[in-house]
Structure 1
Amino acid sequence: MERSYDFLMPSVNFFGPGVINKIGDRAKMLAMKKPMIVTDKFLQGLKNGAVEQTINSLKAAGIDYIIYNGVEANPKIHNIQEAKALYQKEGADSIITVGGGSAHDTGKGAGIILTNGDDITKLAGIETLDKPLPPLIAVNTTAGTGSELTRHAVITNEATHLKFVVVSWRNIPLVSFNDPTLMLDIPKALTAATGMDAFVQSIEPYVSVDHNPITDSQCIEAIKLIENSLRQAVANGHNLQARTEMVEAEMLAGMAFNNANLGYVHSMAHQLGGQYDAPHGVCCALLLPYVEEYNIIADPERFAELAKIMGENTDGLSTRDAAELAIKAMKQMSADVGIPKSIKDIGAKPADFELMAENSLKDGNAFSNPRKGTKEDIVKIFQAAYDAK
């Protein structure tokens, strides 16, 4: 008998060119009086960018606002504490995140400590939140993390250099906005990094122990879209069709991993990102083939199917040989979009592998990995990704 499962996603998701103009109306429907816009200084400074358009939509709806612009990559505890302090000082009543995963995670993190206690480290884990966050809208500007519609909030403890995850249905934004025209000027490196994050987030749920028929269908379509569009989006950032397909893919991947969860790629990538302050999507891409090669024996048939989904010709091959083609396709995608070959290139040091391996197995994403590993196994995967040439 099929196991029972639930399915989580925001109640409302706006998609397509121009949808950002609906923010004010939706904020009014949610009775927002003074939202705090959570973003970074670069996005705030863009003429007619996502922040300016968000503000214009709020003004048209007669809604006041404040801005926290201290978002940084791999958001830290001090970021969410600063945002909380500003929220309280200015009498805000809601949050609108504008940006990529870092903005959304910062906004979620601030919301968590506004209502669930100031020490967010005590809330790491799955479904640890007792109280709802302030009303939250997410305006997305990158086709990558899926954070605008997921229950994950990833924060870095700057004191320990460790990333941790607060996973709760209470973190899911009430409304998400994805307007692909906002992504046309994203640099190639960021397009590649965020796109590879979406790629990983469409693969890990597909092989997760928690996958189900609904998430499978989302992963399959997301992988096909990314195979078709990520290279094109990196090659020409103004290719609106490629940008649109990447947004569709990252939304599908986000919905999938919101429900089927992830695996060792993310649990290990969190350690790399926290330890070396490296881009999350790059960390994921560097680890992906080595983690999934380790995972193959848990379900060779599923990896063989994955190879077909990626467009590999598996005719006449054994199941194992077909499964290996999936790993080849993962490496090829990374190479094509300019991802470095080794975690050595982002500053990784073998002396750190044991501690990172230990913390990887404690990460909230580790429990749904299809193969159950030991600390020694994880060290070997880090080493393989370090020795890659």
Structure 2
Amino acid sequence: MAHQIILPRTMQIGKDASKQITETLASLNCSKPLLITDKVMVELGYADRITSYLAEHSIALDVFSDTVPEPTVASISAGVEALRAKPYDCIIALGGGSPIDSAKAIGILGKYGGEMRDYKFPRVVNEEGLPIIAIPTTAGTGSEVTRFTIITDEQTSEKMLCVGSGFMPTAALIDFSLTLSLPQRVTADTGIDALTHAIEAYVSRKANLYSDAQALSAMALIAPNLRTVFADGKNENAREAMMLGSTLAGIAFSNASVALVHGMSRPIGAAFHVPHGLSNAMLLPAVTAFSIPSAPVRYAQCARAMGIATQGDSDDLANQKLINELKALNADLQVPTPKDFGIDKEAFFTITSTMAEQALASGSPGNNPRIPTIEEMVAIYISLWD
């Protein structure tokens, strides 16, 4: 069986890769970019850095910095308005997953019009939007190499999953030096997000030999370095490993799909404003324990790739080590429970069935080795509380 593999047209990977922005624009025959980012990237000076690189080559750059941490229909609409204000021929997306996801949606809506809901899954968006050059500043989402974007509908609190080659960035500049100033909490949340991408891609029902190779390599890079970057954010070797691991994990899940963790994570984020990586972390141990009986060999290989089980360990022992490690990782990275995060208990328990229904509708649970019922997802949600 053949598998379609979709990647950016070009990638620059390594320290100072972001300095290749002018050469990348030239390779795409683009000269009128709009930079889409957020206020943090402006405050940290990263937006000015890109502006300066381009000014040296007489390329003017306008900046739209009103993206929000969890992109919404309203924030995308504001970006589309900015994009249509001038004849821009491409987008530079700078930041974590939210600015890059925003840029993907803005590029499609800005060119084709309509409403964001028109583009949500199960529609597959293969129309080509404006060229996007993605410059990630976190080692986590992998959005620079994925054909997905997630936008929240404020009216329904639904996190809409949008899928298709139209959302794949045209180019990616993957510069780990941009992650050196990340705060501990962002480092932890995005790092566990990347690890979740790799694990879910490997156990997904849509996994293939290509995605397997990327996922296993990603786990081998992320697992030994996540605690290190949490404790010492200036460790360049660990930051570089995390950045490459995140990108490989993004490639893996973009070509194999995520599964139950992500399906159940999105409704938590939409309803209670929990950062995406953090809600993944809350769910990862429980969902992994639920899913192992349907894919014990695959999960055991994850434990071995992560370096927490040996080739001599039985699959049962490797899987027990995997569960123990995921719980220990959450403890070491100070991942809160929903209760500790400050979510209202009654509100959380009241909405568990709705969240389960939204998770199922996203399609991601259908990729899981063990496909859950609504009742089983509700039980998992309840088990997270404290």
**SS where residue 19 of structure 2 aligns?**
helix
2:300 is the counterpart of 1:304: yes
**SS where residue 176 of structure 1 aligns?**
strand
**SS where residue 13 of structure 1 aligns?**
strand
2:147 is the counterpart of 1:154: no
C-alpha contact (below 8 Å) 2:219/2:302 kept by paired residues: no
Equivalent position of 2:376 in the other structure: 377
2: CA distance, partners of 1:268 / 1:298: 18
2:77 is the counterpart of 1:81: yes
**SS where residue 142 of structure 1 aligns?**
coil
> CA shift at 1:280, angstroms?
0.5
**SS where residue 156 of structure 1 aligns?**
strand
Aligned length: 383
2: CA distance, partners of 1:37 / 1:103: 10
2: CA distance, partners of 1:312 / 1:243: 20
Q: In structure 2, list runs of 5 or more residues that go unmatched.
A: none
1:124-183 deviation line (CA, Å, top 9, x unaligned): 115532531111110110000000111011111111111011111111111101111111
Q: In structure 1, list runs of 5 or more residues that go unmatched.
A: none
Equivalent position of 1:15 in the other structure: 13
What amino acid does structure 2 have at the position aligned with 1:129? V
> CA shift at 1:341, angstroms?
3.6
What amino acid does structure 2 have at the position aligned with 1:19? A
Equivalent position of 1:358 in the other structure: 357
1: CA distance, partners of 2:342 / 2:105: 26
2: CA distance, partners of 1:378 / 1:86: 40
**SS where residue 266 of structure 2 aligns?**
helix
What amino acid does structure 2 have at the position aligned with 1:161? S
2: CA distance, partners of 1:45 / 1:213: 42
1: CA distance, partners of 2:165 / 2:247: 17
2: CA distance, partners of 1:206 / 1:374: 22
> CA shift at 1:313, angstroms?
3.9
| Change beyond 3 A, Cα 1:128–1:230 | same
1: CA distance, partners of 2:304 / 2:130: 44
> CA shift at 1:322, angstroms?
3.1
1:339-375 deviation line (CA, Å, top 9, x unaligned): 1144662526111100000010011423211111111
2: CA distance, partners of 1:140 / 1:23: 13
> CA shift at 1:117, angstroms?
2.8
Equivalent position of 1:274 in the other structure: 270
**SS where residue 258 of structure 2 aligns?**
coil
Equivalent position of 1:30 in the other structure: 28
> CA shift at 1:304, angstroms?
2.1
> CA shift at 1:52, angstroms?
1.6
C-alpha contact (below 8 Å) 1:276/1:346 kept by paired residues: no
What does 1:224-235 align with in structure 2 at a 5 Å threshold? 224-235=220-231
| Change beyond 3 A, Cα 1:177–1:314 | closer
1: CA distance, partners of 2:222 / 2:169: 24
C-alpha contact (below 8 Å) 2:224/2:307 kept by paired residues: no
What amino acid does structure 2 have at the position aligned with 1:214? Y
> CA shift at 1:314, angstroms?
6.0
1:3-60 deviation line (CA, Å, top 9, x unaligned): 321111112111111111110121122222321100111211223x2x1221122222
Equivalent position of 2:195 in the other structure: 199
**SS where residue 386 of structure 1 aligns?**
coil
C-alpha contact (below 8 Å) 1:142/1:183 kept by paired residues: yes
Identity %: 32
2: CA distance, partners of 1:130 / 1:75: 21
What amino acid does structure 2 have at the position aligned with 1:12? T
**SS where residue 161 of structure 2 aligns?**
strand
C-alpha contact (below 8 Å) 2:35/2:92 kept by paired residues: yes
**SS where residue 362 of structure 1 aligns?**
helix
- TM-score, normalization: structure 2? 0.95
What amino acid does structure 2 have at the position aligned with 1:164? M
2:49 paired residue among 53, 72, 82: 53
2: CA distance, partners of 1:288 / 1:23: 36
1: CA distance, partners of 2:277 / 2:342: 12
1:285-305 deviation line (CA, Å, top 9, x unaligned): 100111111111111122222
1:253-293 deviation line (CA, Å, top 9, x unaligned): 00100101110100111101111111100000100111111
Equivalent position of 1:42 in the other structure: 40
What amino acid does structure 1 have at the position aligned with 2:329? M
2: CA distance, partners of 1:55 / 1:102: 20
What does 1:80-229 align with in structure 2 at a 5 Å threshold? 80-126=76-122, 128-129=124-125, 131-229=127-225
> CA shift at 1:122, angstroms?
1.9
Equivalent position of 1:71 in the other structure: 67
1:66-95 deviation line (CA, Å, top 9, x unaligned): 111101111111111001101112332221
